[in-house]
Amino acid sequence: MSSSTHYHPTNYNLPEDWELRWSRSRNLPYFYNRATSESRWQAPDGVDPSVILAFQKDYQNQHETLQQAESKDVRGVDHGNPDSPRSIRVSHLLVKHAESRRPSSWREATITRTKDAALERLEGFQAKIQSGEAALGELAATESDCSSAKKSGDLGFFERGQMQPSFEKASFALKVGEMSGPIWTDSGVHLIVRTG
């Protein structure tokens, strides 16, 4: 839960030293104890679980207000333009190769395929998706070399500056429902579908 945003709620009747924070990596709220530095997803004893829903609503309202106030980020991207959203959601399928920055995955302890073989494998998946034989999420769940395979390739929402540049550029260029061609990063070669 290291990737988080501080958010100090007005009053959620939490026990002393507890506060709610937002996890950027999971896009979910969690509880943090300032005294012990403990982080947890479950509410501390005696906390009404409905507090989480209230916090989510308040956080999202605050986040939307900030988005509207900051029409441009430091890179000069116009977030008031619906064609340039502040955050997007994608699913992807990754094929690693021997030169990937981490040439291993949940599927294989050591990946030895060449870059050409990785691209050929990915293009095979691309053909199945384009023909309607399979959806990217189905293939990602069984074939992706990324741990997001557990979530059918879903990476959740992310903003600019959080992903490798080529992955980010391709993702933000897609319309919802659209799939990229092969995209190379230090991790390997990807197919990306924008889902939100």
- Residues acting as catalytic residues: 92, 146, 164, 187, 190
CA distance 4 to 23: 4
CA distance 71 to 80: 5
Among residues 191, 37, 46, 50, the alpha carbon closest in space to that of 126 is found at: 191
Q: Is 179 exposed, middle or buried (0-12, 13-18, 19+ CB in 10 A)?
A: middle
Among residues 114, 180, 190, the alpha carbon closest in space to that of 148 is found at: 190
CA distance 193 to 179: 4
Helix residue spans in the chain (DSSP H):
50-69, 115-131, 136-143, 165-173
Q: For residue 40, which phi and psi values (nearest 5 degrees)?
A: -155, 150
What single-letter amino acid sits at 145?
D
CA distance 167 to 54: 34
CB 142 within 8 Å of CB 121:
no
